[in-house]
Amino acid sequence: MTDPDLATLFADVRRGMIPAHIYNDEEIFRLERERLFNRAWVFVGHESEIPHPGDYVVRRVLDDSFIVSRGEDGQVRALFNMCLHRGMQVCRAEMGNATHFRCPYHGWSYRNDGRLVGLPFHRDAYGGEAGFRRKGQTLLPAPSLGTYNGLVFVSLDPEAPPLRDYLGDFAFYLDYYTRQSESGIELRGPQRWRIKANWKIGAENFAGDMYHTPHTHTSVVEIGLFREPKAEKRKDGCTYWAGSGGGTTYKLPPGTLEERLRYVGYPDAMIERMKANWSREQLDVVGRDGFLISAASVFPNLSLVHNWPRVEDSDDVLPFISLRTWQPVGPDETEVLSWFAVDAEAPEEYKALSYKAYLMCFGSTGMFEQDDVENWVSLTSTAGGSMARRLLLNSRMGLLEDGGNVVPPLTAEQFSGPGEAYVGYGEYNQRHLLSRWADCLERPPAPVRQVQVSRPDGGGTADADSDTDTADAAGTSATA
């Protein structure tokens, strides 16, 4: 596409008229890879997945594989999973515990903090340390790494702003999902599967699409999975956008904070911990304003969901929390990684039922999941045709012809959270998300510099300095 074509495309996106082909277009995907995913903070896992020294998970940012590991020093690192020798993937397992990673190709081995410690036939092949000095050689670290409430993000941009600045006011809302107690969350999963759909569609849907619920998910309401008798109930909630993310809420019936949290199924002990860990404003969104957060997305591809279905044959409901990433595979395919999350201090019985609630609704077999994905696959395949290049999709819900809003934003008296919030149906958040997308794609790509692989402190270990041919004898090593 030429620059004027792109300028028109971005202008259309910003006014809520979306060129349909952006949901299945090789050229757009190339720009996303180069200008968006090479810069943005991308969620790769949670610290609770790697609680002990040596624990690791392997996660991707598009085609770049990272070993997210906890070293013997307790520090979490994201190491580019490519051997310094000939580029083989050093770790082929998805998760595990290892003191060392040994490359399957020729057997170079690395400590779980990335340091190269072993080369087979070091003396014969390289002349020992005189020919190739192991000291200071390490697997390439992710250019930037940041954590918030144990959520681990990486950015391929060494100049990325600090994660906390990037999240901005959305951190206020992240706490509802990830800080219900001092101990934070623990994760189960991820479940992982691929869908023939563009990654943006899910991110937009979770950010703000309350409008699809009454139609796409009618059957879920019909079978009585929810306490609310009608899916249209969603129009009483509000959508909000703050910092790098936005989401949807449900309007709760009148009552105190405690009554409202009990209404969705939280036991009193968990409510007490929320009261101790959330700010006055965070508590007021629920207790004073009556809004409880539901689905949300953090730009670009992390989504969260919080809901409270009936899990057993009774009137009782129980909440669950889930996190997921929309990991692009190509313009028409996405790998979904979906985790169940729960407050680490929740009672065991609660955790078991909450997991059941999650599986019923989301995850690879969830009822919502199945309803949603058929729409997105259909949309994506049609967006790849030539007619889609002539069509601007209408994503202007909540806007009048003259650009004004159908309803005014909520005032500080009506909504205690930061950012901009509106009651009712509207595509405010989809427009926010895609405007951020346009901002990224409009910027020239960041220069990619080669990195000299060495530790600034030149640090090595005893075995790195020794003249042994291999240094993988101690501890466990992961090679497969």
According to the binding rule CB under 5 A, does residue 47 interact with Fe ion?
no
Of 372 and 420, the one with the shorter C-beta distance to Fe ion is 372
359 binding ligand FES? (CB under 6 A): no
Q: How far is the CB of 41 from ligand FES (least distance, A)?
A: 29
CA–CA dist 259, 292 (Å, integer): 13
Question: Among 85, 135, 188, 262, which residue interacts with ligand FES (rule: CB under 6 A)?
Answer: 85
Q: Is 372 in the site for Fe ion (CB under 5 A)?
A: yes
> Which partner from the list Fe ion, ligand FES, none does 463 bind, CB cut-off 5 to 8 Å by kind?
none
The amino acid at residue 263 is Y
Phi/psi for 379 (5° steps) reads: -60, -45
**Which window, 330-338, 364-372, 423-431, 452-460, contacts Fe ion (CB under 5 A)?**
364-372
What is the distance between the alpha carbons of residues 303 and 287, in angstroms, rounded to a whole number?
25
| DSSP result, 296-322 | EEETTTEEEEEE--B-SSSS-B--EEE
CB closer to ligand FES out of 36 and 83: 83
Report the nearest approach of ligand FES to the CB of residue 361 (Å). 43
Residue 103 interacting entry, from Fe ion, ligand FES, none, C-beta within 5 to 8 Å by type:
ligand FES
Q: Tell me whether residue 125 or residue 352 sits nearer to ligand FES (CB atom).
A: 125
Decide which of Fe ion, ligand FES, none touches 92; Cβ closer than 5 to 8 Å per partner kind: none
How many whole angstroms separate alpha carbon 290 and alpha carbon 406? 22
Within 87-179, strands assigned E span: 95-97, 100-102, 109-111, 116-118, 144-148, 151-155
Among Fe ion, ligand FES, none, residue 372 binds (CB under 5-8 Å by kind)? Fe ion
Q: Which residue's beta carbon is nearest to the bound Fe ion?
A: 372
How does DSSP classify residue 405? B
- The binder of ligand FES chosen from 18, 83, 116, 346 (CB under 6 A): 83
- Per-residue DSSP letters for 210-257? -TTHHHHTHHHHHTT-SSSS-GGGGGGSEEEEETTEEEEEEEPPS--H
Other CB atoms within 10 Å distance of the CB of residue 18: 24
Contacts of 186 (CB under 8 A, 6+ apart): 48, 341, 342, 344
**Residue 83 binds which entry of ligand FES, Fe ion, none, CB below 5-8 Å type-dependent:** ligand FES
Alpha-carbon dihedral 103, 109, 112, 114, rounded to 10 degrees: -90
- CB-CB contact of 364 with 193 (8 Å): yes
Please identify, using beta-carbon distances, which residue of 91 and 151 lies nearer to ligand FES: 91
Q: Which is nearer to ligand FES, 18 or 103 (CB)?
A: 103
How many residues sit close enough to ligand FES to count as binding (CB under 6 A)? 10
DSSP 366-388: -HHHHHHHHHHHHHHHHHTSSGG
Among residues 6, 17, 88, 271, which is the contact residue for ligand FES, using CB under 6 A?
Answer: 88
d(CA 69, CA 77): 5
Asked if 356 is part of the footprint of ligand FES (rule: CB under 6 A), the reply reads: no
106 touching ligand FES, by CB under 6 A:
yes
Q: Identify the residue among 108, 199, 211, 422 touching ligand FES (CB under 6 A).
A: 108
107 binds, among ligand FES, Fe ion, none (CB under 5 to 8 A by kind): ligand FES
Minimum Å gap between C-beta 125 and ligand FES is 11
Q: Report the interface residues with Fe ion, using CB under 5 A.
A: 372
Q: Report the interface residues with ligand FES, using CB under 6 A.
A: 83, 85-88, 103, 105-108
